[in-house]
Amino acid sequence: MIKNVIYLDNNATTRVAPEVVEAMKPFLTDYYGNPSSMHTFGGQVRKLLNQAKEQIADLIGARSIEEIIITANATESNNAAFWGTLESYPEKRHIITTKVEHPSVLNVAQFWERKGYRVSWLGVDSQGRLDIDELRAAITPHTALVSIMYANNETGVVFPIEEIGKIVKAHGVVFHVDGVQAIGKIPINLENSTIDLLSLSGHKLHAPKGVGVLYIRRGTRFQPYMIGGHQEYTRRAGTENVPGIIGLGKACELAKKSIKEETSRVKYLRDKLEQAILMKVPDSRVNGAETERLPNTSSISFEGVEGESILLMLDREGICASSGSACTTGSIEPSHVLRAMGVPYNYVHGTVRLSLSRYTTEEEIDTVIEVLPGIIERLRELSPLWKSKR
């Protein structure tokens, strides 16, 4: 196993917190009962499961655990939000979302578009900001659902969700928010929120993979999409992923405590990293720098070099990061988020995303500050674009 890595890809997935592992262990050994069983042995698991749900509800400010529907991951939550809402309002055939959503919303909206729904795709400006007037103009009496992410996974740009929500709710439309990147990183309180549906993912906040949540505000119409038993208040049938839910509960409890740290220490490290890189590397830029962003995310573009080769060189140094573009098929697809922001082509291919967590140390950030500028310089020496520019 590779151990000594500098892990700066926390928007992709996170390390499971040791406390979470400990909390889960008994549920992989002794507490194997089915929470739906009549006997005490199973019934005790139900109680502990509900305690975990309380922890989840507490982090996001849900009023009761009945608003917390456990899913397998945020992709399922996003799919469910669309299905559950659109099936509840079959007469309304219009959806509003943005051009910068995660594929688990983007491709789902495109699926419904192919099914005959009309989809309004909201654009963003050069800083990744939404145009609220565009949203206002897009809502019609036929709009069934507005689905907008809380914070962008690639750039960390945070949308003014409550401002958006006010407009959506003024029209009586269901408001779904993909909160995957925001939950656990910035404070959020659903108690007096305009959000009807919220997706979150366990493995993005130091819980294990395989557990997610769809928050459904009490009173929101929702057609179940997974039919079977009575689990999750018959909104999502299937025997519960008990260890996963216990782990997510613990992770939420920890996240609630660490949010302060996240917004201070992690932000300090992120800002230090960005400032040093911008200073040491000419012709580099931070995407979305002028607007509100998550404290842990940095999307940096370097002119004249290609992202995958940066990642490969970082990888040789044991640094885990990710890039916006994917050279996987015949074409190199630049990130749809950066293209929507109008990041110029000579920068867009040379983008890396560094995403920190509360486990990131200052020493690790200093190593990156030391290593990354040299990598860019080496790759620029190789690049025909760089020379021709000088």
Partner 1 sequence: MWEYSPKVIEHFMNPRNVGEIEDPDAEAQVGSFVCGDMIKLQLKINDQGIITDAKFKTFGCGAAIASASVLTEMIIGKSVDEVAGISNEDIIRELGGLPEAKIHCSVMGADALRSALEDYYAKQGLQPPPEMDTSPLVCHCFGVTQNKIRNAIFAYHLRTVDEVTTYTKAGGGCGKCKEEIQKIINATLGEQVAEPPELVAVQKRPLTNLQRMKMIEDVIEKEIRPQLQADGGDIKLVDIKDNIVQVEMLGTCRECPVSPVTIKQYVEQKLRELVDNEILVEEVK
| Residues contributing to the site for partner 1 (CB under 8 A) | 304-306, 308-309, 312-313, 315-316, 325, 327-332, 334, 345-346, 349, 381-387
Q: Nearer to partner 1 by C-beta: 335 or 357?
A: 335
Task: Name the nearest CA neighbour of 306 among 277, 332, 330.
Answer: 332
Q: How far is Cα 311 from Cα 322, in angstroms, rounded to an integer?
A: 7
Tokens standing for residue 175: 């408001």
DSSP 263: I
Report in angstroms how near the CB of residue 388 gets to partner 1 at its nearest: 8
Q: How far is Cα 387 from Cα 390, in angstroms, rounded to an integer?
A: 5
Residue positions counted in the chain? 390
Report in angstroms how near the CB of residue 158 gets to partner 1 at its nearest: 28
Give the helix/strand (H/E) hosting 145.
strand 143-149
Q: Nearer to partner 1 by C-beta: 132 or 385?
A: 385
Q: Nearer to partner 1 by C-beta: 131 or 333?
A: 333
Q: Nearer to partner 1 by C-beta: 257 or 316?
A: 316
Q: How far is Cα 333 from Cα 308, in angstroms, rounded to an integer?
A: 12
> Known catalytic residue: 320?
no
User: From the candidates 119, 132, 326, 327, which is the catalytic residue?
Assistant: 327
SS3 state at 231 = helix
Q: Nearer to partner 1 by C-beta: 144 or 375?
A: 375
Contact 239, 36 (CB under 8 A): yes
Report in angstroms how near the CB of residue 153 gets to partner 1 at its nearest: 20
Tokens standing for residue 164: 């958006």
Report in angstroms how near the CB of residue 114 gets to partner 1 at its nearest: 12
Give the sign of the dihedral formed by CA 87, CA 88, CA 91, CA 97. negative
Q: Are strands 212-216 and 68-71 parallel, antiparallel or unpaired?
A: antiparallel
Q: Which residues pair with 7 in a beta bridge?
A: 320
Report in angstroms how near the CB of residue 375 gets to partner 1 at its nearest: 11
Q: How far is Cα 292 from Cα 152, in angstroms, rounded to an integer?
A: 11
Contact 9, 322 (CB under 8 A): yes
Q: How far is Cα 358 from Cα 379, in angstroms, rounded to an integer?
A: 31
Report in angstroms how near the CB of residue 117 gets to partner 1 at its nearest: 18
Q: How far is Cα 216 from Cα 70, in angstroms, rounded to an integer?
A: 11
Q: Nearer to partner 1 by C-beta: 11 or 309?
A: 309
Q: Nearer to partner 1 by C-beta: 370 or 381?
A: 381
Report in angstroms how near the CB of residue 343 gets to partner 1 at its nearest: 13
Q: How far is Cα 346 from Cα 389, in angstroms, rounded to an integer?
A: 11
Report in angstroms how near the CB of residue 334 gets to partner 1 at its nearest: 7
**231: number of Cβ within 10 Å:** 17
CA 29 to chain centre: 31
Q: Which residues pair with 105 in a beta bridge?
A: none
Q: How far is Cα 346 from Cα 38, in angstroms, rounded to an integer?
A: 64
Q: Nearer to partner 1 by C-beta: 208 or 307?
A: 307
Give the helix/strand (H/E) hosting 346.
helix 345-348
**Which positions are catalytic?**
327
